[in-house]
């Protein structure tokens, strides 16, 4: 057993590189489907139903003026609709049109497909572990898979 303390690619650098790669895949797919990456991202965020501008601002981390522009252009292209919120007449909800829905789904699918290809032969077990680890990072708290679930029985694969 060699010491596994091999600093292959530092963890954080790996994350950065991965982000870069994913972004490129996203850009490539969007381009092919005649969407901008930002539009594709927006569409993907709306699949579960209409969302208010403020919430979008939070999840996209954009200035509200930037979002206005993004939504404007998406609306002009018929991908998205603004509906006035009935309870709060200042607010509005952004929802997908039929076309927007299709375009979003298509983009999401293709991105997933390509990432699958890139992940290649990464074994299922490792995929799951990675997904869980990422889940932990995303949720802002440590992944606790060891509390029984997925990671149990993981026999030192490294």
Name the residues that contact DNA, by CB under 7 A: 27, 36-39, 52-54, 57, 61-73, 82, 85, 87-93
Task: Give the one entry of DNA, its own copies, none that residue 102 binds, where binding means its C-beta sits below a cut-off of 5 to 8 angstroms depending on kind.
Answer: none
Count of Cβ atoms closer than 10 Å to residue 105 Cβ: 14
**Shortest separation between residue 32's beta carbon and DNA, angstroms:** 10
How does DSSP classify residue 63?
-
Per-residue binding string, its own copies, 5-44, x by CB under 8 A, is -x-xxxxxxxxxxxxxxxxx-xx-------------x---
Which residue matches tokens 């889940």? Answer: 135
**Tokens describing residue 153:** 């029985």
Does 49 engage in binding with its own copies (CB under 8 A)? no
Beta carbons of 66 and 58 less than 8 angstroms apart = no
**Tokens describing residue 76:** 């002009």
The Cα–Cα gap between 5 and 158 comes to 10
Residues in contact with its own copies by the rule CB under 8 A: 2-4, 6, 8-24, 26-27, 41, 61, 111-112, 115-116, 118-123, 125-143, 145-146, 148-152, 154, 157-158
């Amino acid at each position: 057993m060699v010491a596994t303390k091999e600093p292959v690619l530092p963890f954080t650098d790996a994350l950065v590189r991965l982000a870069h790669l994913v972004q490129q895949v996203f850009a490539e797919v969007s381009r092919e489907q005649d969407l901008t990456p930002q539009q594709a991202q927006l569409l993907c965020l709306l699949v579960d139903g209409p969302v208010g501008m403020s919430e979008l601002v939070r999840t996209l981390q954009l200035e509200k003026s930037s979002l206005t522009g993004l939504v404007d252009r998406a609306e002009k292209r018929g991908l998205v609709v603004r509906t006035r919120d009935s309870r709060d007449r200042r607010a509005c909800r952004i929802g997908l049109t039929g076309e927007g829905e299709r375009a979003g789904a298509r983009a999401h699918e293709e991105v997933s497909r390509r990432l699958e290809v890139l992940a290649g032969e990464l074994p299922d077990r490792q995929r799951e572990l990675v997904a869980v680890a990422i889940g932990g990072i995303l949720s802002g708290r440590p992944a606790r898979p060891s509390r029984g679930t997925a990671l149990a029985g993981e026999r030192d694969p490294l």
